[in-house]
Structure 1
Amino acid sequence: MSRMLEEIRQQPEALERTFSGGLRGVEKLRQLMRKRRPRLVVLVARGTSDNAALFGRYLLEITTGIPVSLAAPSIATLYQARVDYRESLVVAISQSGESTDTNLVLERAREQGATTLGITNERSSTLAGLAEHVFLVRAGKEKSVAATKTYTGQMLMLYLLAWALEGGVRMPELERLPETVESALRLEPEVRALSERYRYMRHAVVVGRGLNYANAFELSLKLMETCYVVAERFSSADFLHGPIALVEPSFPVFAFAPAGVTWPSMDETLAKLQGLQAEIVAITDSGNREVDARATRVIRLPRRVKEILTPIPYIVPAQIFAACLAAQKGLDPDQPRTLHKVTLTL
């Protein structure tokens, strides 16, 4: 069994530790933000952490009403531009805390007047030393190159950040997320069997919308880095503005399809894909039965999940699928070719 799959299975305990261990720091930041509420939040990250940041953008704007921007690190690292970060909260997200460009952006932002927060899995990292405030992801050492438990830990920390900014997030619901993830892990035998069908898959599309748009990016990344599948990712709305033309009969499309406000748009996209005879694999929960009429195959969480809480449990069967597909292809997801756990870029 791969380390990737082992670490996927560790997520309920990792999320419990992250939640309980972070409460004091989150409450401290909440008190500070009441006095110095930011006019803007800027998120800076790379790789899987950047996908967590994309999720954070949707979550924070939806729940707090504060505008959120995703930083372009090259503005600071290559163009040496000075940005006015006064009255802003700049949040750097990094599994290792050693991403060179992410840390440089945070350092410059602090010099230019921002309140700074670091979200990392490494207590003694450079990022933890640079940031004024630190949210520690307590996932334990992540040994596989493919990030899994640190991704969901970062997402949980972004929920806690939304709470600190007095957004519409309920702590008792967050506290129950590890239990929901535990139920998602019970889908492993079903997902493993499904992965056999896609052993020879070389191209795919992943679609999501709203809060699950980031999960489309994350599943796509996992398919690319662990299975060497060319996986394009789109918003279900953007997909209709041109990229749908690449779909032909039996073309594999993976869709995150919760019930709620994003479902009508996703339903429209899936209906068109169905008309093109695409092979659609939908990830959903017991709250959405309509998707059965659209998808070729459905991966369904056994419990109904509120849309705002779906991103963490929904990514779990997607992670399992990538790990199992890599095994089907005879690949090692823990050591993808040319990749390392820490990537240093400017």
Structure 2
Amino acid sequence: MSPEADVRESTLMLREAGEGGDAVTRFLSANADAIGALAMHLRTHPPAAVVTCARGSSDHAATYAKYMIETFLGIPTSSAALSVASIFDAPVSGGGNLCIAISQSGRSPDLLATVEAQHVAGATVIALVNDETSPLAGMADHVLPLSAGPERSVAATKSYITALAGIAALVAAWSDDADLRGGLQALPAQLKQAFAIDWSTALPIFEADRSLFVIGRGYGLAIAQEAALKMKETCGLHAEAFSSAEVRHGPMTIVGPGFPVLAFATSDEAGDDVRSIVSQFAERGASTALVAAHDGTLAALDAHPALQPVLMIQSFYRFANALSLARGMNPDLPPHLNKVTSTR
């Protein structure tokens, strides 16, 4: 990319996304002792179930938490419907559960109501939150500050990356998985490499369109959800995220010649299924862009399969910024949105 392009594309979103590696370094350093102690507690007092509380990008991080906790630890993990507490004021049962709340601001009323309901029911609350002074941090039993630093662009980037890394760090310590621990040590430097990857060859696929599918599976489903959200809010595109399994049911009927598909394939069996559905769509004449470490049309770094999505979304943020500008939009100021969304 030329220096002129760097200047032209130097939005807040681009600069903040580029800080992902440094943010993860800060998180891992600041929270190492707390995560170690928390992991020891969870091993000796394992919860019957895990409930996640989040909205928006943070809820996509919660999807990642579900796959990480269930595959590495075998503990059922589900996302709380926040309206159950904030609108219906329904009681919560299930003392002994673990509640993981994920938020940038830690201030949304429905999130706080849900966490309070979980706490009253006897759940242990862990908060992954970027604002250590927030009400969420104050009500949690254990706080893991994201340490991402201020985000001024409406589109969350480095805080999402740090939330993913935080979940991976907690699961690595809790499960005592040596390979995942080793992958996390390399992650900050790899994030910087991932941010330098150029996907501009895929701009023509999405630049003039209105709708697309974003596909992932397993660990990669969380970033398919996040990429679809960013396509909506920064690029004005109607993007829907699907598991490569779920898209085979009803949604795949609308994929035909020229239909845009962005897919994220990890280096595991889940990624193989993503490759399979992308091949089917390509045979129909769809315009496909496959992100994969060894065989993708868009390059990705190799890493532990559970960490590859973190690197892929880092590369995607640069691409989303470029696509937004190519479509004549400002990724820092999406229409009708504010940085902090307060939902009841």
Range into which the TM-score falls when normalised by the shorter chain: over 0.9
Root mean square deviation of aligned Cα: 1.4
How many residue pairs get aligned? The number is 334
Shift, 1:304, TM fit: 2.3
2:244 pairs, out of 217, 228, 236, with 236
Cα distance per residue 1:245-297 (max 9 Å; x no partner): 111211110000122111332232122101210011011113xx3x5xxxxxx
State the distance in 1 between where 2:96 and 2:205 align. Answer: 52
Cα distance per residue 1:53-79 (max 9 Å; x no partner): 011100110011111111111111112
Check conservation: 1:3, 1:334, Cα contact below 8 A.
Answer: yes
Check conservation: 1:252, 1:279, Cα contact below 8 A.
Answer: yes
Identical aligned residues as a percent = 34
Amino acid across the alignment from 1:156: A
Check conservation: 1:184, 1:313, Cα contact below 8 A.
Answer: yes
State the distance in 2 between where 1:57 and 1:317 align. Answer: 23
Amino acid across the alignment from 2:182: P
Corresponding residue number in structure 1 for 2:183:
173
Distance 1:208 1:90, change over 3 A: same
Match status 1:276 vs 2:274: no
TM-score norm. by structure 2 comes to 0.93
Corresponding residue number in structure 2 for 1:35:
44
Cα distance per residue 1:221-268 (max 9 Å; x no partner): 000001110001111111111111111211110000122111332232
SS in 1 for 2:206: coil
SS in 2 for 1:116: strand
Corresponding residue number in structure 1 for 2:299:
300
SS in 1 for 2:122: coil
SS in 1 for 2:331: coil
Distance 1:136 1:81, change over 3 A: same
TM-score norm. by structure 1 comes to 0.93
Match status 1:93 vs 2:102: yes
1:321 pairs, out of 302, 306, 319, with 319
Unaligned residue ranges in structure 1 (runs of 5+): 292-297
State the distance in 1 between where 2:204 and 2:116 align. Answer: 47
Check conservation: 1:64, 1:167, Cα contact below 8 A.
Answer: no
Unaligned residue ranges in structure 2 (runs of 5+): 1-9
Corresponding residue number in structure 2 for 1:250:
258
State the distance in 2 between where 1:168 and 1:53 align. Answer: 20
Cα distance per residue 1:282-337 (max 9 Å; x no partner): 11113xx3x5xxxxxx1112x42221221100111211111111111121111111
1:70 pairs, out of 74, 79, 82, with 79
State the distance in 2 between where 1:121 and 1:181 align. Answer: 19
State the distance in 2 between where 1:276 and 1:194 align. Answer: 19
Check conservation: 1:208, 1:256, Cα contact below 8 A.
Answer: yes
SS in 2 for 1:176: helix
Match status 1:24 vs 2:16: no
Shift, 1:161, TM fit: 2.0
Corresponding residue number in structure 1 for 2:4:
none
Amino acid across the alignment from 1:90: C
Corresponding residue number in structure 1 for 2:6:
none
Match status 1:345 vs 2:343: yes
Check conservation: 1:92, 1:103, Cα contact below 8 A.
Answer: no
State the distance in 2 between where 1:69 and 1:199 align. Answer: 35
Shift, 1:112, TM fit: 1.2
Cα distance per residue 1:165-189 (max 9 Å; x no partner): 32536323212111111111121xx
Check conservation: 1:196, 1:325, Cα contact below 8 A.
Answer: no
Corresponding residue number in structure 1 for 2:161:
152
1:335 pairs, out of 330, 333, 336, with 333
Map 1:99-114 → 2, pairs under 5 A: 99-114=108-123
Check conservation: 1:96, 1:122, Cα contact below 8 A.
Answer: yes
Shift, 1:8, TM fit: 1.1
Distance 1:6 1:323, change over 3 A: same
Check conservation: 2:278, 2:290, Cα contact below 8 A.
Answer: no
State the distance in 2 between where 1:3 and 1:340 align. Answer: 15
Amino acid across the alignment from 1:273: F
